[in-house]
Amino acid sequence: MARVRPRDPQPPGRRHRSRPPPGRLRRPARRHRRPPARPQGHRHRRRHPLHRRRPGPRPRPRTPVTLQEPAVPASPLLHHHLVGPADAPPLVLGPSLGTSKAVWEPQLPSLSRRFRVLRFDLPGHGGSSADILPAPEPGRTTVGDLASLVLDLANQYGWSRFHYAGISLGGAIGAHLAAHHPDRVASLALVCSSAHFGAAQPWHERAGLVRLQGTAPLLETSPGRWFADRSFADSPFGRRLLGTLAAADPVGYAACCDALAAYDLRPDLATISAPTLVVGGALDTATPLKHARELAEGIADSVLKTIPCGHLAVETPRALQDVLVDHLRTACAEGTMRVPLPD
């Protein structure tokens, strides 16, 4: 009997495949489909244990996003424009109620040749925000508050002394500075201004009207108070000035009215020692010539000049420029801030 040789045992993990009988085809083996390739941005590779991440700073936590942006604080300074040689004596020009620094533009080319000229806007006028007022509540703003804002501007540029010229309320600010800060004012020019702008009640009534209705009701009466000839309101410069009044912030305008209501510098006029020019408008109905005379009589050694203009002195810009330049020439020659002025 023949011996049968035993088959070798199959290695573990390997299937035994029987051969098909003759005449039958082998069934093709099944192919495993590869899974769809992942996008490159989502590949997940196993990190080899030897390939560890290098030590480094831990990522900072992200700042949470706020849905509401914080409010931008208003500038603490009056909006202003500075022009002229950097080493020239400083000259500050103040506007009247309802106007902006633009009221001084006719005189700017001449003055800026020899002076460092700074023009500013009152709170709520032009580019100045009413939020810079220390007390914008009704009846609390004073001319002293406005004068402090002007001193902040001068301190910003390091000016210990400066020349000052102002129209109406702008002049009252300069007079307050000359009376209460005499060491800061080198010379003073008061244009169509006053030491006391009348009874307080009409100013409070105007402030209340503006707080309720804005400055629109004033556009009908302002041309008669501002200009000697109402037709000047139709000129390009007149329309520009009235446009500033129309765009004035009611809060800032009303606060300036409150400041005029409480203003009375008559007891302090004798304390003003700066060389002073008083300019009165012969056709000014808002502050008639008696206001200019009172200023000239109360301020020692002051000079009174009269020009044919209305309250803003814009109808005759050359006449105002001539008397102002002559005043500054004399003040600079007598004082420490010497500068030659153009004719």
Q: Determine, yes or no, domain membership for 34.
A: no
- Let me know if residue 225 belongs to a domain: yes
Tens of pLDDT, residue by residue over 231-276, are 999 999 999 999 999 999 999 999 999 999 999 999 999 999 999 9
Q: Provide the percentage of residues in the chain whose pLDDT is more than 90.
A: 72
CB 190 within 8 A of CB 304: no
| Pairwise pLDDT comparison (66 vs 299), residue with the higher score | 299
Model confidence over 305-322: pLDDT tens digits? 999 999 999 999 999 999
Asked if 81 and 119 touch (Cβ cutoff 8 Å), the reply is yes
* 185 assigned to some structural domain: yes
Structure confidence by residue, pLDDT tens digits, 63-103: 444 344 333 344 589 999 999 999 999 999 999 999 999 99
Q: Rounded to two decimals, what is the model's pTM?
A: 0.77
pLDDT tops 80 at residue 61: no
Q: What is the pLDDT of residue 159?
A: 97
Measured CA to CA, the distance from residue 58 to residue 67 in angstroms comes to 27
pLDDT, residue 66, reads: 38
d(CA 85, CA 108): 13
Mean pLDDT, residues 40-61: 57
> Chain-wide mean pLDDT for the chain?
86
How many domains in the chain? 1
- Mean per-residue pLDDT, 159-182: 98
Q: What is the CATH number of the domain that holds 261?
A: 3.40.50.1820
The predicted structure's pLDDT at residue 268:
98
The least confident of 31-35, 245-249, 282-286, 319-323 is 31-35
pLDDT on residue 334: 77
User: How confident is the model at residue 35, as a pLDDT?
Assistant: 61
pLDDT for position 216: 97
What is the tens place of the pLDDT at every residue in 11-31?
A: 555 555 556 566 555 565 566
Beta-carbon contacts of residue 263 (< 8 Å; ≥ 6 apart): 142, 143, 172, 196, 197
72 is a domain residue: no
Closest CA to 324 of 222, 189, 211: 189
pLDDT confidence tier of residue 47, bands split at 50, 70 and 90: low
Residue 180 covered by a domain: yes
pLDDT at 49 over 60: no
The yes-or-no verdict on residue 2 having pLDDT over 70 is: no
State pLDDT tens for residues 87-146. Answer: 999 999 999 999 999 999 999 999 999 999 999 999 999 999 999 998 778 889 999 999
Q: Residue 326 falls within a domain, yes or no?
A: yes
pLDDT of the residue at 41 = 53
Q: Please indicate, yes or no, if residue 327 is contained in any of the structural domains.
A: yes
In a domain, 172, yes or no: yes
- Helix ranges (H only) for 228-279 are 236-246, 250-261
Structure confidence at residue 333 (pLDDT): 86
Residue 236 lies in domain: 80-334
Rounded to whole angstroms, the Cα distance separating 90 from 313 reads: 23
Separation between Cα atoms, residue 192 and residue 242, nearest integer Å: 18
Predicted confidence at residue 137, as pLDDT, reads 83
